[in-house]
Every structure is written in C-alpha cells, then in structure tokens.
C-alpha cells in the first residue's frame, strides 16, 4: 500500500488495552483500536487515556489504526 492512500484523523484516547493497544474515539464519533507507531515506541513517547492523538488508517480496514502523533 502506498503512503498516500492512508487517511489521517484526530481523536481522543478513551482506554488503554493490553499489548500496547488503545481504544480511540475519533472526532467523527467512530471508535477504533489503535497501536503506537514504531518511532513513538522507539523514543518512548507515552500515551495515556485522555490524550489527543493523530491516527493513520487504511481505507481497507476502518476499525484499526496507528497512532502517529500525540498532541500537547
């Protein structure tokens, strides 16, 4: 899949799940399961419940995503 096919959304982390997964409520009221991107994991950027995040999703599966940025 090409990088330009990814869709970006913003949302709020609702719940921390096992295996470094997160339940994220997007601004359009959809709820997805997301994991942190590799660079965030590498630099140990913590994501907690209530944080505003940017999520990348593929158009093929709109229930899963990747957290790419934690807003301040």
CATH code for the structural domain at 3-70? 2.40.50.140
Q: How confident is the model at residue 71 (pLDDT cuts 50, 70, 90)?
A: very high
Q: Tokens at residue 43, please?
A: 């630099």
Mean pLDDT value of segment 26-50: 98
What is the C-alpha separation between 58 and 65, in angstroms, rounded? 7
Write the CB contacts of 31 (distance below 8 Å, at least 6 apart in sequence): 14, 23, 24, 25
Average pLDDT, rounded, for the chain: 96
In sequence order, what DSSP letters do the residues of 25-53 get, joined into one string?
Answer: EETTS-EEEEEE-HHHHHTT----TT-EE
pTM: 0.93
Terminal-to-terminal C-alpha distance of the chain:
30
């Amino acid at each position: 899949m090409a990088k330009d096919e990814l869709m970006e959304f913003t949302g709020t982390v609702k719940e921390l799940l096992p295996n470094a997964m997160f339940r994220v409520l997007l601004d359009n009221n959809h709820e997805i399961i997301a994991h942190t991107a590799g660079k965030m994991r590498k630099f140990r950027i913590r994501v907690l419940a209530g944080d505003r995040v940017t999520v990348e999703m593929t158009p093929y599966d709109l229930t899963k995503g990747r957290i790419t940025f934690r807003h301040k």
